[in-house]
Amino acid sequence: MPKPSAFELLAHPHTGDPKQMEARARDFASEMRTRRTVRHFASTPVSRGVIEACIDAAGAAPSGANRQPWHFVAVSDPATKRRIREAAEREEEAFYNGRAPREWLEALAPIGTDASKPFLEDAPWLIAVFAESWGVDMDGGRVRNYYVTESVGISVGFLIAALHRAGLGTLTHTPSPMRFLNEVLGRPENERPFLLLVAGIPADDARVPVLGKKAVPEYATFIDADRLPRGVDRRPRPAEPSSPEGVIKP
């Protein structure tokens, strides 16, 4: 991987107008709030160009030390999809009928999933995402990667957002274990299967479980200049003699 030898001026496409920024952010949030995991797909073909463009967006993600430790295998070939389905269903049978702890099965019950995975053949595209545990240099030596899981997770977030933007439904699928993907897709041992993203047009009668989503105040805390969190007293305090400036900084 070449090291940057120079810096360039940032090509930043947005204005700093706060109203416009908030409007854009709210539009994006509304669009992302319509994303749901789809488990019933139409067999309608989706062109390779759409998938390539979405993978292009995924590759724009930040990554630890810019190692970009990801590899995407996009599959529309029916025979390969069938092999993936057969192997995944074998693992899922074992999972649902013994390997999974009861607590996990209870958590999955409201979602209504089971060992049968017809979407792995029905959907036009499967995108297998691999995390590159270590890189390989010109001489075949190992090159260390950094924050691999975080980097690949962010990249998959970009990918899901791009697929949603393109009008496709997605399913994040994680058959456990999924090492079979290396064999079926011919990926090397330094690549760990991360997840399998199923993508396509949702079936006309696709249904999704009714699930609650947390509201922002339930999962975010703001400590900002305008609104102080409860319990923080930032009233000016009397100066303490030991403070050299005579003022205690808030």
Binding stretches for ligand FMN (CB under 6 A): 36-37, 39, 111, 113, 171-174, 195, 208, 211
Quote the least distance from Cβ 39 to ligand FMN, whole Å: 6
Quote the least distance from Cβ 194 to ligand FMN, whole Å: 9
Quote the least distance from Cβ 239 to ligand FMN, whole Å: 52
126, 198 contact by CB (below 8 A): yes
Quote the least distance from Cβ 25 to ligand FMN, whole Å: 20
Neighbour-count burial for 137-159, b at 16+ CB within 10 Å, e otherwise: eeeeeeeebeebeebbbbbbebb
Quote the least distance from Cβ 14 to ligand FMN, whole Å: 28
Which residue number, 96 or 134, has a Cβ lying nearer to ligand FMN? Answer: 96
Which residue number, 34 or 242, has a Cβ lying nearer to ligand FMN? Answer: 34
The 10 Å Cβ neighbour count of residue 228 is 12
Which residue number, 207 or 237, has a Cβ lying nearer to ligand FMN? Answer: 207
Which residue number, 163 or 195, has a Cβ lying nearer to ligand FMN? Answer: 195
CA angle 185/132/75 to nearest 5° reads: 30
Quote the least distance from Cβ 92 to ligand FMN, whole Å: 8
Which residue number, 108 or 135, has a Cβ lying nearer to ligand FMN? Answer: 108
Which residue number, 42 or 135, has a Cβ lying nearer to ligand FMN? Answer: 42
159, 197 contact by CB (below 8 A): yes
